[in-house]
């Protein structure tokens, strides 16, 4: 087995990147629930569709952040660290 | 065992890619709940079908993003990194 | 043990492909809930069956995507990468 | 231990195939819930049985897909790859 | 330890077959819920027993499929592959 | 350690058989819920006891199948394969 | 370490037997829920105690089966296989 | 390390016995829920205390069985097999 | 490492005893729920305190059994088996 | 590594003791739910505070037992066995 | 590696102590639920604040015990055993 | 590898400290639920804000304790034991 | 294998960074629920949209913090420690 | 492999730091629920927005603490211990 330390780091980074984006399970469930509540609210009060949708989208945008953190860390593990 | 470091990286990338798309469990559950709430809301108020559906689809589109992150990282692990 | 690096990659790809399609648990639960809500909504308001069903199917189609990502990554792990 | 790389691939494929069909847990739960809601809806409104059942079956058919992906990947791991 | 590659494949196939039928947890829970809803619906409206039961059984039959996939893969792992 | 490949297969089959019957968790929970709903429905409408019970038992019988798959695979692992 | 293949099989059978009876978690939870619903139904309608109890017990008996499968496999692992 | 095969069997039996009684988690939760429903039913209808309690106890007795299976297997692993 | 087989058995027994009493999670949750329902029932109908409490305690006593099984197996692993 | 069998037993006992007290998760959740129901019941009917509290405490005391079993086994693993 | 048996015991004790305090998850969830129910009850009936709070605190104190067991075992693993 | 026993203890202490503070998941969920119930109660009865908030904070303070135990054990693992 | 200690630290840091951002599952679910409740509240009372949204965003901002802790630790593991 | 004990400690500290901040899952879920209840309460009673928000924020602040403990321990593992 002809493996250098740099190879080990990159192999572990590949596993770590896979783990990192699993964080997306959380926002995925949460934002889907938000979409369901939003659609349900529009069905009860179609006149407030604009207000409901902007509230839903704003709340979802905040929930998106932790998913983005996972993507960011995965990207850093794949592209930036092996150069470092 | 005649294994080079590059082989180890690609083997771990295959495992990592499999882990990464598991992130799709989250959006899958969430979007399904959204579809259920949407269909239920249309049943109660068919006249607002357009509004309900556009809200549901917009909310689902946001929830899709974290699933896409998982796909993106899996693709990078399979195609881009072994070349890097 | 006469194992080459290419063998290790393909063996790990088989495990990774198995992990990848597990992502289907999410859409499976979610779409089933959507089907239940849809059938329930049709029972309460049979006249809106077309609207309910189109909303349900559209929402389910979006939820399907993350399951397809898992299949796509599994396919790539099995067919494309060993050639790469 | 007289093990070739091809043997290792097929052994890991057997594990991977077992993991892949576990994806059926999701559709199994979801479709069962759909069946329960459908039967309950028919009990409340027997006259709409045809509409309820067609909606339920259509929704379940979509939910079935991710379970089929798991079966497909398991089949590929068992029959196609060892020949590849 | 006098172990051939064929032995390793069959040993891993035994583990894989055990994992594959675990997929039955999903349909088991889902179909049980369907049975409960069905019995409950018959209790509220005994006159629609035939309609409720046929809907329940049809829905359960669809949910059964992913459990059958698990059995199929387990059978293939035990009987077909070692001959292949 | 004087271990033949046949011994390894039978040892792994013992583990696999233990895993296979764990599939019974699903039907166990589901059928218990069905029993509870059934008893509850009889309490509300004792006159429909026959109809409720036959629906419950029929639904439970379907749910039993995936538990039987687990038993079947466990039996095959213990009795049929070591002879094969 | 003076360990024969037969010893390994029996050691793994002990682990497998322990795993097999864990399947009892499912029926344990389900039957307990059934007992609770049954007692609750008797409290609301004591006159139907006989009907409620017979429905509950019949439903529980079906749920018991998967727990028995676990016991059966455990017994086979402990007593029958080492002789085989 | 001076370890015989018999020692390995007894060591694995100790682990297996610990796993086996974990099955008691299921009946423990289920029976506790039954006790709660029973006490709640008595509070609503104290006159039916005898009927409620006998139903609760009978249902709990059935739920106890899978816990007893776990104890039985644990006992067999500790006392009967090492002699066998 | 100067380790005899007896030492290995006792070390594994210590792990097994720790696993065995984890079974207490089930009765702990269940009995706590029972206590909550009991207190709630007394609050609604203080006059039936004796009946509620005796039902609750009897139900909890049955739920206790599986926790006792875990303790029993742990005790046997610690005190009886090393002498055996 | 100069490790005797007695050292291995004590090291495994330390892990086992840590596992044993994890059983306290169950009573902790259950008793907390009981406390919440009790406080809620007192809020609805302050005049029955004594009866509610005594019922809650009695029920919690029973739920405490399995947590005590975990502590007892942990203590035995730490203090009694190394002397044995 | 110059590692004595005493070092191994202390290293495993560190892991065991970390596991032991994880038991605090249970009381943490339970007591938080109790606090929520208590605050909610005070909001509905502020006049009974003293009675509600004393009931809540008494119930929480009992729930605290299993968390304390975890702390106690962790302390013993860190301070008392290495001296023993 | 030039690793002393003291190094192994400190490395395991680092893992153990990470495990210990995971206990904070419990209080985090519980206290958040308490905060939600408290805010909801204030919204229904703003006049009792002081009473609700003091009850909520007192209850949360008790729930905090098990999180503090985790921190305490982590601190001891990091600072006190390596000196001991 | 030509691996230095610095390589091992960086490889473990990659795994640790992947674990750290998994903490984002919590805020992702929680904030999504908040978005759903917010959109639902706006649908019931559109006039209070500003107040609802500011409360929702403020609460979400607090929930974001633990996700940020995960990102912060991941960043430190990737960029700061290898220099330290 | 040229690895010193100090390297092992720092590598395990990196894993431990990643585990420690996972504690943030708890406060993340809890605080998000609190934000949802708060926004919902403001929607029902906008006049009490100040009182609701201050209660929500105070409760969330307490829930934040266990997330901070995780960050604190992670920081200590990364910066303070390697110097110690």
CA-angle at D77, arms to D74 and D82, nearest 5°: 155
Lowest mean pLDDT among B1-10, D53-62, J9-18: B1-10
Q: Say what the pLDDT of residue A83 is.
A: 54
DSSP secondary structure letters along J20-71: HHGGGHHHHHHHHHHHHHHHHHHHH-GGGHHHHHHHHHHHHHHHHHHHHHHH
B3 within domain boundaries: no
Distances (CA, A) of L25 to A63, G7, G35, I76, L71: 19, 43, 33, 34, 12
Residue H68's Cβ-side half-sphere holds a number of Cα atoms within 13 Å equal to 9
- Looking up residue H62, the CATH number of its domain turns out to be 1.20.20.10
Diameter of chain E by CA atoms? 68
Strand, helix or coil at I53?
Answer: helix
List pLDDT tens digits, range G38-52: 999 999 999 999 999
Low-confidence ranges of chain A (pLDDT < 50): none
CA-angle at G61, arms to G57 and G66, nearest 5°: 150
Show Cβ contacts of residue E50 under 8 Å, excluding neighbours closer than 6 positions.
Answer: none
List pLDDT tens digits, range B20-65: 999 999 999 999 999 999 999 999 999 999 999 999 999 999 999 9
- Provide mean pLDDT across the span E58-66: 92
Q: Read off the DSSP letter of residue A48.
A: G
* Strand-pair partners of G2: H4
Q: Say what the pLDDT of residue E5 is.
A: 81
- Decide: A22 and A70 in contact? Cβ < 8 Å: yes
Burial state string for A5-26 with b = 16 or more CB within 10 A and e = fewer than 16: bbbbbbbbbbbbbbbbbbbbbb
Per residue, the 3-state secondary structure of A27-46, as one string, reads HHHHHHHHHHHHHHHHHHCH
CA-CA distance, K35 to A24, in Å (whole number)? Answer: 31
Q: Say what the pLDDT of residue D59 is.
A: 93
List pLDDT tens digits, range J52-63: 999 999 999 999
CB count in 10 Å sphere of residue J38:
34
- Decide: I14 and I43 in contact? Cβ < 8 Å: no
List pLDDT tens digits, range F2-44: 778 888 888 899 999 999 999 999 999 999 999 999 999 999 9
Q: Which residues of B touch M28 (CB under 8 A)?
A: 26, 66
List pLDDT tens digits, range L23-75: 999 999 999 999 999 999 999 999 999 999 999 999 999 999 999 999 999 99
**Among the partner residues F2, F14, F33, nearest to G77 by beta-carbon distance:** F14
Taking only the tens of pLDDT, chain N with its 84 residues reads 677 888 888 889 999 999 999 999 999 999 999 999 999 999 999 999 999 999 999 999 999 999 999 999 999 998 876 555
CA proximity to H51, closest of M43, F70, F43: F43
CA-CA distance, B71 to D43, in Å (whole number)? Answer: 43
Is this complex's ipTM strictly greater than 0.90?
A: no
Distance of residue N30 Cα from the nearest chain M Cα, in angstroms: 7
CA-CA distance, A31 to F72, in Å (whole number)? Answer: 42
CA-CA distance, M53 to L53, in Å (whole number)? Answer: 23
CA proximity to H77, closest of G69, G11, G24: G11
Average pLDDT value for chain I: 89
CA nearest to G22 within chain F: F22
D4 within domain boundaries: no
CA nearest to G66 within chain E: E28
Q: Which pair of structure tokens corresponds to residue I41?
A: 């029932």
Q: Say what the pLDDT of residue I53 is.
A: 93
CA-CA distance, F52 to F45, in Å (whole number)? Answer: 9
- Provide mean pLDDT across the span H22-50: 93
Q: Say what the pLDDT of residue M1 is.
A: 60
State how many domains chain K has: 1
Rg (CA), chain B: 19
Q: Say what the pLDDT of residue E4 is.
A: 82
CA-CA distance, N65 to A75, in Å (whole number)? Answer: 30
CA-CA distance, F5 to D7, in Å (whole number)? Answer: 14
Q: Which pair of structure tokens corresponds to residue J74?
A: 């942990």
Please judge whether A19 and M23 are an interchain contact, meaning their C-beta atoms are less than 8 angstroms apart.
no
CA-CA distance, D32 to E28, in Å (whole number)? Answer: 8
Lowest mean pLDDT among A11-20, G50-59, H73-82, I11-20: H73-82
List pLDDT tens digits, range K72-84: 999 999 887 655 5
K36 within domain boundaries: yes
J7 within domain boundaries: no
Q: Which residues of F touch G67 (CB under 8 A)?
A: 24, 28
- Provide mean pLDDT across the span E59-74: 93
Q: Which pair of structure tokens corresponds to residue L12?
A: 């395991």
Strand, helix or coil at K70?
Answer: helix
CA proximity to G41, closest of G55, G62, G26: G55
Q: Say what the pLDDT of residue E65 is.
A: 92
A7 within domain boundaries: no
Q: Which pair of structure tokens corresponds to residue A62?
A: 């905040």
Please give the residue range of the domain that contains residue D31.
24-83
CA proximity to M77, closest of K7, E56, A77: A77
Q: Which of 52-71 (H) contact I at CB < 8 A?
A: 52-53, 56-57, 60-61, 64, 67-68, 70-71
Q: Say what the pLDDT of residue I75 is.
A: 92
C32 and chain E: CB distance < 8 Å anywhere?
yes
Please judge whether N30 and M30 are an interchain contact, meaning their C-beta atoms are less than 8 angstroms apart.
yes
Q: Say what the pLDDT of residue E74 is.
A: 93
Q: Say what the pLDDT of residue B1 is.
A: 60
M21 within domain boundaries: no
Please judge whether B48 and A42 are an interchain contact, meaning their C-beta atoms are less than 8 angstroms apart.
yes
Q: Say what the pLDDT of residue D20 is.
A: 94
Grade residue E7 by pLDDT with cuts at 50, 70 and 90. confident
CA-CA distance, J13 to I81, in Å (whole number)? Answer: 16
Q: Which residues of J touch L26 (CB under 8 A)?
A: 28
**What angle in degrees, to the nearest 10, is found between the helix axes of M49-75 and M25-44?**
170
Place of tokens 């409290």: G43
CA-CA distance, C5 to C9, in Å (whole number)? Answer: 6
F24 and chain D: CB distance < 8 Å anywhere?
no
Show Cβ contacts of residue E63 under 8 Å, excluding neighbours closer than 6 positions.
Answer: D27, D28, D31, D32, D34, D35, D60, E27, E30, E31, E34
Residue M4 φ then ψ, to 5°: -90, 165
Q: Which residues of H touch G31 (CB under 8 A)?
A: 27, 30, 59, 62-63, 66
Distances (CA, A) of K78 to K11, K16, L48, L84: 10, 9, 46, 9
CB count in 10 Å sphere of residue J3:
18
Place of tokens 């390793």: E8
A48 within domain boundaries: yes
* Strand-pair partners of I2: J4
Q: Which of 36-55 (L) contact N at CB < 8 A?
A: 36-40, 42-44, 46, 49, 52-53
State yes or no: pLDDT of F82 exceeds 80.
no
**Among the partner residues C34, C36, C73, nearest to B21 by beta-carbon distance:** C73
I32 and chain K: CB distance < 8 Å anywhere?
yes
Q: Say what the pLDDT of residue H38 is.
A: 94
Q: Say what the pLDDT of residue I5 is.
A: 81
Q: Say what the pLDDT of residue C82 is.
A: 58
Q: Say what the pLDDT of residue F81 is.
A: 63
Split chain D (84 residues) into runs of 10 and give each run's mean pLDDT: 81 92 93 94 93 93 92 90 57
E48 within domain boundaries: yes
Report CA dihedral (G6, G8, G11, G12) to the nearest 10 degrees. -110
State yes or no: pLDDT of G84 exceeds 60.
no
State yes or no: pLDDT of C25 exceeds 80.
yes
Report yes or no on chains H and A touching (3+ CB pairs under 8 A).
Answer: no
């Amino acid at each position: 087995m002809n493996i250098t330390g740099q190879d080990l780091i990159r192999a572990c980074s590949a596993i770590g990147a896979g783990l990192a984006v699993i964080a997306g399970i959380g926002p995925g469930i949460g934002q889907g629930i938000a979409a369901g509540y939003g659609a349900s609210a529009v069905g009860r009060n179609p006149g407030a569709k604009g207000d409901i949708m902007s509230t839903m989208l704003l709340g979802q945008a905040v929930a998106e952040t932790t998913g983005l953190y996972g993507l960011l860390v995965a990207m850093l593990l794949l592209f930036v660290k092996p150069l470092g």
